[in-house]
Structure 1
Amino acid sequence: MLRNSRKQALKEHIFMHAMKLFTEKGFDQVTVDEITQVSGVAKGTFYNYFPKKEAVLLYLGHSQMDLLQESAQKHAVLPQIQDRLLEIFCDLTQRYCEHPELLRLALSEMIRTPALMNKEMESIRQFHTALLPWLEEAKVLGEMAPHLDTLLVATLLQGVYFHSLMEAINGTNTINTQEIRDRLQLQLELIWFGLAPREGGIRA
């Protein structure tokens, strides 16, 4: 466990130094040699964690999926699915609040490079899939009407999360985490109001 923790810390170390270089010089202008020099690792070590330079950008989405699983376990004790999702979404946005330039850079490069975007879509699909069990549980708990399509609701929730991210990074380098939390909470409350079972079933 300790060894895995150290390996993860080293990967994060390389990632952060690489992203700093990308932000300062531009992705295309940065070489692997420069990344290894500023991060203080051998080139072989870099390739142990990232098979190529483009993999550094994709790591952002992959690491968020790992964080989602950790956050889900941490907040599993919360009785209401709505509250769990709020805490999970807030945990996921924390990194971007601390380093908004990471998301700006990753998005700009992925828009510019369709191959990168196609690979990143896998993380987005995993995020969507991860929401489905919670929505099924919400039906069992009576928080969500049983006739509603969980796939469509997951897409709606996914849209709320990513829209909040886009609003957060569209401006200054300072992101108010409380504002993001308040916005997410309000949006989830509105969605949950619409998802709740109604007497007589589907509303006309």
Structure 2
Amino acid sequence: MDSSSLRERQKERRRARIYSVAIELFKRGGFQTTTATDIAKASNVSRGTFFNYYPYKEAVLLDYGSEVMDRLRDQAESRLSQGIPPLAVLYEIWDALAEENARERDLFPPLAYEVMNPNPERARTAYQALPLSKVIELILRPLHQSGQMRTDLSLQRISNLIADTYLMVALRWSAYGTDRPLQEEMRLALNLLLEGAVRRDLVRP
């Protein structure tokens, strides 16, 4: 193994250690109260080294969110390949994501806020790290290709709207809470999106 490959592997291991330590600290002490200095100290690196890997504290959460999205995509591809109907797969993925968010309730709000960060570059980085709309698009593509979906909106637009709805409902639930579990709240929202809120004969053209 040459020296450059060795350095790359060392960097990957260091980043993985910083990431796992940071997530553990966030879960134990809360995201807001955990500082970059806390993470660096617990990871046995300098504060400067931490920022070499993560330019801001929220960037750690983007790695977490990206891992969740990868798991959901793998689950969706597996279920579709087994012949499970796309809408059934969508509900499964929706439930799995709601379960993850409910379990890690303290991590979700700062992660969601990154998608809406006023800094365009940070918001774009967060959006790319959390491609929920791409997972939804993957699931719905068979319905779109078979002509079972409306044609006045593109598949990408529909998928983006569904993903945006998830983000806002889950963020509100995480911040304020409701009498319903998040999974139930999210199913209500998805039902509304898929079925519509008003009888079609009452909707003006």
TM beyond 0.5:
yes
Distance 1:110 1:153 in 2: 18
Q: Match for 1:58: what amino acid?
A: L
Distance 1:183 1:59, change over 3 A: same
The equivalent of 1:4 in structure 2 is none
**Superimposed CA distance per residue, residues 128-150 of structure 1 (whole angstroms, 9 cap, x where no aligned partner):** 23322322211345642456421
Distance 1:37 1:74, change over 3 A: farther
**Superimposed CA distance per residue, residues 147-199 of structure 1 (whole angstroms, 9 cap, x where no aligned partner):** 64212211221122112211221225xx88x73222332333333335xxx9x
Q: Match for 2:126: what amino acid?
A: E
1:16 corresponds, among 9, 16, 23, to 23
Q: Which runs of 5+ in 1 are unaligned?
A: 1-6
**Count of residues in Structure 1 that have an aligned counterpart in Structure 2:** 179
The equivalent of 1:25 in structure 2 is 33
Residues 132-143 of structure 1 aligned to structure 2 (within 5 Å): 132-140=137-145, 143=148
The equivalent of 1:181 in structure 2 is 183
Give TM-score scaled by structure 1 length.
Answer: 0.65
**Superimposed CA distance per residue, residues 53-108 of structure 1 (whole angstroms, 9 cap, x where no aligned partner):** 52313223322222222331453346322221111122123232112111223455
Q: Is the 8 A contact 2:65 2:111 kept in 1?
A: no
Q: Is the 8 A contact 1:82 1:188 kept in 2?
A: no
Q: Is the 8 A contact 2:133 2:160 kept in 1?
A: yes
Q: Which runs of 5+ in 2 are unaligned?
A: 1-12
The equivalent of 1:62 in structure 2 is 66
Give TM-score scaled by structure 2 length.
Answer: 0.65
Residues 51-90 of structure 1 aligned to structure 2 (within 5 Å): 51-52=53-54, 54=56, 55-76=59-80, 77=82, 79-90=84-95
